[in-house]
Amino acid sequence: MESWIMSENSKRTFPVSWEELHRNAKALAWRLLETHSWHGVIAVTRGGLVPAAIVARELDLRVIDTVCISSYDHQNQRGLQVLKGISADGIGDGAGWVVVDDLVDTGATAVEIRKMLPKAHLATIYAKPLGKPLVDTYVTEVSQDTWIHFPWDLEAQYAKPIKDGARD
């Protein structure tokens, strides 16, 4: 629900590989399978697109929509901007729908989604303490001062040793 470039307030970094993301998205699907029979998936763009696709596959859901919310400009968090909301046609108040995102950080995006879809089930792979109470299901908790580097934002390159100032 947030960005993936390291901010000034982050003290730790947490790089996520494609394999780890896939494994955690499948774990999210297992948890969701046990809770409800779903009408469909709503992905929060952009970070929720890949996890939502994996969840939809694992739960054999063919109806997928998106809600497009931006809260970051590259490295800087800013106010929320809803770029595309949800049509009420077929979705209504969100009952029976699962909204999937990669991360809940401060919870600002989750609050906005709850306004749109008050009865939807919010699910993320990663949850930080400030946002955790606002989601219904998550897989892994990380500290508030951790910046998650998702695989779609990473390139293979030289990494400094810890003794030379590496941050993770």
Using 50, 70 and 90 to split pLDDT, how confident is the model at 8? low
Give catalytic status of residue 93 as yes or no: no
Which residues fall within 8 angstroms of residue 116, CB to CB, at 6 or more apart? 67, 85, 86, 94
Q: What does the alpha-carbon distance between residue 147 and residue 166 come to, in Å, rounded to a whole number?
A: 14
97 in helix, strand or coil?
Answer: strand
- Does residue 31 register a pLDDT over 60? yes
Measured at the CA of 21, the angle between CA 19 and CA 27, to 5 degrees, comes to: 105
pLDDT, tens digit, 9 for 90 and up, residues 66-100: 999 987 655 556 678 888 888 777 899 999 999 99
Residue 52, H or E segment: helix 49-58
Among the options 73, 105, 145, 164, which is catalytic?
A: 105
What per-residue confidence (pLDDT) applies to 5? 42
Among the options 65, 93, 101, 145, which is catalytic?
A: 101
**Residues placed in the known binding site for xanthine:** 105, 148
Predicted model pTM: 0.84
Domains of the chain: 12-155 (3.40.50.2020)
**Residues placed in the known binding site:** 46-47, 78, 101-109, 147-148
